[in-house]
Structure 1
Amino acid sequence: MSERVVPGGVGALVALGAADALWAVLTAGSAVPAASAVFTCPPADARAGYVVLGARVVVAAVRADDGRWGVSEVEVRQAALGLNSVEMDGCDLVRIGPFGGATKQGSAGGTLLGWRGRIAEELRGTAGRGRAAQCGEDRLCHLAGIDWRRVLVERAVEGVGRSWWLPRAVVRLLDAAGHAETQWLQAAQARQASSAAEPPSRHRQPQATDSRQATGPDVPIVPLRPYGGELAGQLYSVLSRKPGMSGKVAGWVCAVCRTAAAAVLDHCHEHGYVRAPVCTSCNILERPDHLYRNDIRVAGRYMRLFGTGAAGWLGHWHRCPGCRTRSVLPLPHLAAWTAHTASRTLRPTHREGRTRKPCGVLRVSWTGSQNAPRSCLLTVAVDFCPSGEHRVLAQVPYREAADRFRAWLAETAPALAAAAGPDRLDGLPARPRPVIADTGGEGLSLF
């Protein structure tokens, strides 16, 4: 295909090969690694009518009378500008799989619908080898113009097996791009249905002739609406069975970060109440890391949950009436807070340069349940500590941990502490639900 500019009536179109070259030049300095051949390498297909790039830019493919395909140079530049503006922390990772259960797949023509499933499929080597063979080893398939392979991290966890991780910035980009693609496809379907339903008329105005044939609608993206507490006090078990709830959730902006589209209903596994619709990135950030039957690893991201972003996250967790009434957190979160905050001074350190760095991996486990506080004991330990492979730092009874948290809550977020308390028992279930041990089994499905 000749890499020339195709003249058009509404701005310059560039041939697909030239668009690939332009994309490579514009994204050369991006913190997020950009893929090559985003318009000519599968899963991109001009006949599908569009390619999604960056967070929200859907680049429509246009076919001229001579049969050649092109894309708008302005849209390519907009997508590159958006990608270049994203800052990425390579250490702030989100687990993207594998998770239990079958992965939902999107339509064959889409590039992002079910992007986690597409990554899992390729990593498992089922259909990815076929697509990679079409692209060539140096032109691998992309997602939203991102070369996700360059930032994918694979970890092996004892007793669990391997897991796959991507930087949080990349996950949010792909979630936002998937939402934009969904809206674009829905608009295309609505436009096709409207055209099919329109009766023929002799007085219809003739359409303007053009040397190009657009394959997709030029429809603006519908803005997401902010969450205003519409689901407050409702049970997840009831809402998850309501028809059409998944579409309603996708129309909200995430109640935590307030930037990405919501994808799941975050809810309290102890009391069963819905907290708020959140994006997948915030949902994974909120979930205790590597939660097993009664044991979690306290990751570095808790510095944000209980440090710089404490007020916001505490307010989110206390959207559950059960936690708010008892002025406490669900047991796994309380255990993480106890290990990360209340026992911080007990953790050994080692010298690194001119500073001292906490050593080992912080872990907390518990015996018993929050439903039997007298028998519940939290054990904070350090794995892989030079002074001992598994060094126990503290053993804290549940009631003592809860009292410490209430005192810290009153100091950290006085307004939240004032809104909580045992005198607010209206609507609280008489028999709280037990802790659900594995919150990651179906964590990436909507409900």
Structure 2
Amino acid sequence: MFSKVLIANRGEIALRILRACKELGIQTVAVHSTADSNAMHVRLADESVCIGPPPAKDSYLNIPAIMAACEITGADAVHPGYGFLSENARFARILEEHKVTFIGPSSHHIEIMGDKITAKQTAKELGIPVVPGSEGEIKTPEEAIALARGMGYPVIVKATAGGGGRGMKVARDDEEMRIALFTARTEAKAAFGNDSVYIEKYLQKPRHIEVQLMGDGKGNAVHLGTRDCSLQRRHQKVLEEAPAPTVPMDQQLRIGEVCAAAMRKLKYSGAGTIEFLYEDGEFYFIEMNTRVQVEHPVTERITGVDIVYEQIRVASGETLSIKQENVNFYGHAIEVRINAEDPQTFAPSPGKITFYHPAGGVGVRVDSAVYQGYSIPPYYDSLIGKLIVYGRTREECLQRLRRAVDEFVVDGIKTTLPLFQRLIKEPDVIAGNYDIHWLEKFLAANKA
């Protein structure tokens, strides 16, 4: 087992990792920007190192500064969390070269799954169902139009690198295709430094279903069931639940085993998530995330598996502590992402938290790194906490979620809590009758 882990992240995920390390008896190092000097994970870590000014490019994305922090503290492993450098193959490779363990998959696996074209080809070879689309990069409007006509409109143009909804544009005819190709390329170049794009069939009313996986790099891998992440705004998830409520359990287990078998073939190590679009009873591969997901707590709640704990164990060279036959699913869990945003306009709302009272009680978990008096900096993602609620049934879970959302108080800034108060009373949400476009339509129809 490691003696000291450097946590190359911030916010709630940094605190989540820190707690797992402490339970394993591992010393922790928090790296932070000057804007995060008073962050909770910095206060609780055994050691802390300031790695730069507030902009992420000068701190949390500053590989030389993080490597220097490893050197001066003697950290023998780095946990990247999610975002920032968590799926940066170059960072993983540099750590490997300096004999520091990257708590995640190999740089090779990050590389092949990080490029969406290569990932799709790999998925196909491993027997995972994929969305019809281009075999590789699309370079000209003429090529794009010919392919789209062959598949039938609508189609979606996607950047091969990155994520978060950037570099993604829908086209419904030839004229829109020319515009979508140009716009997606421009966005991708600005966001990821790579203007390579590809095309997929655009499904009309799909749900976003994902499968949580764990492997140990020795040929052992298990799936931990499904999550439904269909409630999204601008391709950003807002609410997630496990298991996926509208997919028959036998189908969930079948796709889970397909994914786990693929990970065994790859000898994949660590946590990973394969994301699908699901429509008319069929799964279509979108991408694989080679890291822990924001929404991992709902899976932990219904399986009893500590995903971060398991990540650390297998990165240290141990075999998986769980076997597929021992993975059981109990009840239902829902997570809502509490962001420091205006619930109507979604404009960021940084500032000082003047009063903070998280929800509690039976079946309630809060993953957050904020506290009363803490000032939310304006430089980073607006996520300030995750409310995770469990029930024996989905109905009980929703009932408990209504109570927990009403009980949760964050004053001094605006948050998305009022949005969830509205959403969990909606008949479609209660019935689970929504797709990836539902929330955008709901917001458009309910503008104040």
**Range into which the TM-score falls when normalised by the shorter chain:** under 0.3
User: Which structure has the greater CA radius of gyration?
Assistant: 1
- Name the TM-score, length of structure 1 as normaliser: 0.26
What is the TM-score with the length of structure 2 in the denominator? 0.26
